[in-house]
Amino acid sequence: MNSNIQNGKGSSKITLKKITSINLETILNLKVKPKQRTLVAPNAVSIAQAQFTRGAWYRAICLDKEPIGFVMLRDSTLKFKKINPKNPEIYLWRFMIDGRYQGKGYGKKALELVIHHAQSRSGIKEITLHHQPSKGNAGNFYKKLGFKHTGKIHLGELEMKLKLD
């Protein structure tokens, strides 16, 4: 899964890569900007939660070979090996780009890849997420990718959905 980015040095590629013993430490060390720390859990917490959550799907967001971010979904189609759930759902649980790499279009490219991945999952018609209402929240970032607020609030967080074709 990859997406090209043009920059002054030529073409760089954003990819979603599996987490391995080789890239794990780099991913654990990725951090959002200090003011954003209340907006998303540390990657170590997310990766630990994934071990105890059926249907968790997580990847490193890489710029060429370098991990620069992290994404985690809950995908109900992965919960059971053989039985297809009645209402398959994809929930965007975690999404972050390290502070050093923000504002360069990488988050947008990575989210496009996540959307493409969701479109490839059988029966998935939408992606749901919740974001914090506090200053600097990612709501407008998601809006640029087509997500819309539903008006629902879940545990103090605003719900957004993206309808898939």
Ligand X SMILES: CC(C)(COP(=O)(O)OP(=O)(O)OC[C@H]1O[C@@H](n2cnc3c(N)ncnc32)[C@H](O)[C@@H]1OP(=O)(O)O)[C@@H](O)C(=O)NCCC(=O)NCCS
- Residue 78, interface with ligand X (CB under 6 A)? no
**Burial environment of residue 54 by CB neighbours within 10 A (0 to 12, 13 to 18, 19 or more):** exposed
Shortest distance (Å) from residue 107 CB to ligand X: 2
Q: Which is closer to ligand X, CB of 19 or CB of 138?
A: 138
Q: How far is residue 165's CA from residue 79's CA, in Å, rounded to a whole number?
A: 23
Query: Closest Cα partner for 32 from 112, 124, 137, 153?
Result: 137
Shortest distance (Å) from residue 85 CB to ligand X: 24
Site string for ligand X, 82-111 (x = CB under 6 A): -------------xxx----xxxxxxx---
- Residue 40, interface with ligand X (CB under 6 A)? yes
Which residues of the shown chain bind ligand X in the complex (CB under 6 A)?
A: 32, 36, 39-40, 95-97, 102-108, 131, 136, 138, 140-141, 144
